[in-house]
A = this chain, B = another copy of it.
């Protein structure tokens, strides 16, 4: 028998259906790998810096030293910075606005074959430092929402194999982001507590879905995980916005993220995944309703008509079981 679980952060339902994993005709899976373009063709490799727009950030900052991480505007941006994000309402009531914003690429390493799951702590921390620096810069420009994400593998939508993340500043607050925030605000109004603080406390107390605990961060698989092995990394010290994380927390986050990614690679064999940072919208960063968190969502299945039509996810695994597999994998690796 399957089970419906309510996601406390959206109030939406997830179908947890372990029997679906038994289907004799499993959902046909496309090959997972990005076409391996050669380093000679790669716009993100050392020596090809002229193929991208000029850097907006780099580590180390001195231009005389070789770069470890660099941030450049996306050459084919979904949003661009020139203009005013003003709504236009047509005579027949349709609303549109120019695509004003920022779309940047964080090139995570000079090494075409590097991977966060195999990097050392300082390599992961350098990427996180780039995230924070660009978050702060885009916040100062007045973004409506700032989205930081990483697409790993073809099934996660990667178009270039060289390891990179992306950051988008959009002029509007997406309905889904607003909805998550509204649910947390309602919880605060009802109970006087932060939904995410309560949620983390419950997960740590229960323990079955916890993947990794450290003094500053907890990695766990949520009760109503929308995909097998979905993993959240959340700070113990509640903070609404990722941009406000301090140096000590950034350094402490690096090994947790690396361990989670290495654990997923160990259990699932380098799965395709998306990593996304959920943060309060810039205008609401001072509200204590929300706690930023990093979500890793492996892309093992293809959402079909049910998911598109209902918005509900189907997860053929139990997070209590997959978290156990992750704990063992991380213990083996350390």
Contacts and interface: CB of A to CB of B under 8 A. Distances in A.
Given A94-B8, A97-B4, A311 B175 contact: yes
B78 A17 contact: yes
Contact size class for A? 35 or more
Interface in A144-161: 145, 147, 149-151, 154-160
Contact of A302 (B83, B147, B154, B311): B154
A168 to B, nearest CB: 6
A141 interface: no
Contacts of A97: 3-4
Nearest to A174: B310
A248 interface: no
Given A25-B37, A28-B159, A30-B30, A308 B304 contact: no
Contact of A94 (B6, B297, B304, B310): B6
Contacts of A78: 2, 15, 17, 20, 306, 314
Contact of A3 (B6, B20, B98, B275): B98
Question: Which of A16, A17, A175 has the most chain B CB atoms closer than 10 A to its own CB?
Answer: A175
A228 to B, nearest CB: 15
Contacts of A278: 309
A303 interface: yes
A228 B282 CA distance: 31
Contacts of A34: 28
Contacts of A28: 34-35, 154, 158-159
A22 to B, nearest CB: 6
A19 B74 CA distance: 12
A182 to B, nearest CB: 11
B96 A6 contact: yes
Nearest to A152: B305
B80 A168 contact: no
